[in-house]
Amino acid sequence: MAVSAINLQPYAMLSDDECDARIVAAKEKLGERLVILGHHYQREEVFKHSDFVGDSLKLSRMAAQSNAEYIVFCGVHFMAEVADILTSPQQVSILPDLAAGCSMADMANLAKVELAWKELSEVLDDVEASVTPVTYINSAADLKAFCGRHGGIVCTSTNARNVLEWSFTQGEKILFFPDQHLGRNTAYTMGIPLEEMVVWDFDLPMGGLTAEEIKNAKMILWKGFCSVHQMFKPEQIDNFKARYPETKIISHPESSFEVCQKSDYVGSTEYIINTIAAAEAGTRWLVGTELNLVNRLHEQFKDEGKNVHFMSPTVCMCSTMFRINPQHLAWTLENLVEGNVVNQIKVEKTEAEQAILALERMFEVSP
Ligand code: 13P
Ligand code: SF4
């Protein structure tokens, strides 16, 4: 029988070590009823308690395959939403701190995407037949539902190319949101020239574009970006290479076009980890992705003689991901032990049904 939820406030006074012990004890009590999924950007104090870790695609598959009653997502809001969409109604998806959003995901909302769709339909003969909407998984569930009902699809940084290839079999153009960089970087590697890509400024009528520009474009890129990855600059690569010319550059595709063009490797967080793991001892790496992951790579591979460096001279952390701390995790789990579900993420039924169409199309084309 559930009692009233345990108050969060006293947990703020607990040290990380105290939380640690309590998290371990709560996990033991919950056993197989619980699974903790952790994204690679999580701080170490939280990451170490994860049952499974991965990038967005891997974690969404983990969620879909899990039979656990409680899925506690140590990540950001859209990830917990995807977990809810892909699991059965009896399973509960939980985000330990509801303030852990994704600032990039917030750059697109349904009202603005609906408006863009309407404006595109004023310029194009048959918007449904000619444009495939593609949403990066870093987006709210209602945008995934939008893609579901308009013949569109979801992508992650792992499968973006497969998704774009599929999308171009559906229509001649793609409306890609919210991250312009992932869209541009992926399309460019597929041979689409920059002249055939336009940026849709969601604050301007008709995206700030002329009818001609829209008609000529293959990729219509939403003007969104990640505040973390936008901090990486091509000059940082040049400066580092001037000191260590042998360095291999590896970046996440949310980084700018210029950074990705100067990179030897571009891919998801999982890809970055696997690439450095497979590299030879003595290699040096400059990595353009979030700081917690780069610090972990540095620690993990230093004994193998691999040198892993962070691309930016300033701190670039995903501050929203960082909100998931041991205190919130301990509070969440101890509530579950007492039979209280706190911070459940629930996607409305119709929205989930439409979103799943776009997610299933993604899984079908994913590597
Ligand atoms: P990955 O899917 O590559 O882990 O990326 C998620 C993300 O939010 C990167 O900023
Ligand atoms: Fe969102 Fe950027 Fe954080 Fe990834 S790193 S979750 S895109 S804000």
Which residues contact ligand 2 via a Cβ below 6 A? 76, 102-104, 138, 226-228, 254, 290, 318, 320-321
Note the pLDDT of residue 110. 98
What average pLDDT does range 257-279 have in this prediction?
Answer: 98
Nearest CA to 208 among 143, 134, 108, 116?
116
State the Cα–Cα distance between residues 360 and 362, nearest whole angstrom: 5
Whose C-alpha lies nearest to ligand 1, atom 8?
138
Whose C-alpha lies nearest to ligand 1, atom 1?
55
Whose C-alpha lies nearest to ligand 2, atom 5?
318
- 275-319, pLDDT tens digit by residue? 999 999 999 999 999 999 999 999 999 999 999 999 999 988 999
> For a pLDDT cut of 70, what percent of the chain falls above it?
99
Where helices occur in the chain by DSSP H, the ranges are 16-30, 44-47, 56-65, 77-86, 110-123, 127-130, 141-149, 160-170, 180-189, 211-216, 234-243, 257-261, 269-278, 291-302, 326-337, 349-365
Ligand 1 atom nearest the C-alpha of 56 is: 2
State the Cα–Cα distance between residues 208 and 210, nearest whole angstrom: 7
**How many Å lie between the centroid of ligand 2 and the Cα of residue 167?**
24
Note the pLDDT of residue 188. 98
Is this prediction's pTM over 0.85? Answer: yes
Which residues contact ligand 1 via a Cβ below 6 A? 40, 55-56, 138, 156-157, 226, 252, 254, 268-269
Contact 110, 355 (CB under 8 A): no
* Cα–chain center distance at 287: 17
pLDDT at 1 over 70: no
- 74-90, pLDDT tens digit by residue? 999 999 999 999 999 99
Contact 340, 5 (CB under 8 A): yes
pLDDT at 2 over 60: no
Note the pLDDT of residue 3. 67
**How many Å lie between the centroid of ligand 1 and the Cα of residue 56?**
6
Ligand 1 atom nearest the C-alpha of 290 is: 10
State the Cα–Cα distance between residues 66 and 60, nearest whole angstrom: 10
Note the pLDDT of residue 315. 87
Q: Which of 39, 179, 320 to mutate to test the pocket of ligand 2 (most atoms within 8 A of CB)?
A: 320
CA angle 210, 214, 216 (to 5 degrees): 115
Nearest CA to 274 among 40, 36, 61?
40
- The residue count for the chain: 367
Q: Which residues pair with 54 in a beta bridge?
A: 39
State the Cα–Cα distance between residues 3 and 247, nearest whole angstrom: 57
What average pLDDT does range 15-27 have in this prediction?
Answer: 98
Confidence of residue 23 (pLDDT cuts 50, 70, 90): very high
What average pLDDT does range 254-266 have in this prediction?
Answer: 98
Q: DSSP letter string over 95-119?
A: -S-TT---TTGGG--HHHHHHHHHH
Counting ligands in written order, the one closest to the CA of 103 is 2
**How many Å lie between the centroid of ligand 1 and the Cα of residue 124?**
33
Neighbouring C-alpha atoms within 13 Å toward the C-beta of 152? 30
Q: Which of 62, 156, 289, 324 to mutate to test the pocket of ligand 1 (most atoms within 8 A of CB)?
A: 156
Q: Count the Cβ atoms, other than its own, within 10 Å of residue 314.
A: 8
**How many Å lie between the centroid of ligand 1 and the Cα of residue 138?**
8
- 335-364, pLDDT tens digit by residue? 999 999 999 999 999 999 999 999 999 999
**CA separation, residue 183 to residues 274, 284, 349 (Å):** 23, 28, 29
Q: Which of 73, 79, 136, 138 to mutate to test the pocket of ligand 2 (most atoms within 8 A of CB)?
A: 138
Structural Rg of the chain based on CA atoms: 21
Note the pLDDT of residue 262. 98
Contact 214, 123 (CB under 8 A): yes
Note the pLDDT of residue 212. 98
Note the pLDDT of residue 151. 98
Sign of the dihedral defined by the CA atoms of residues 68, 69, 72, 76, in that order: positive
User: Phi first, then psi: what are they for 262, rounded to 5°?
Assistant: -85, 0
State the greatest distance between any 2 C-alpha atoms of the chain, in Å, as a whole number. 65
Ligand 1 atom nearest the C-alpha of 267 is: 3
User: Phi first, then psi: what are they for 220, rounded to 5°?
Assistant: -105, 110
Confidence of residue 4 (pLDDT cuts 50, 70, 90): confident
- Average pLDDT of the chain to the nearest whole number: 97
Note the pLDDT of residue 316. 86
- 156-204, pLDDT tens digit by residue? 999 999 999 999 999 999 999 999 999 999 999 999 999 999 999 999 9
Contact 313, 239 (CB under 8 A): no
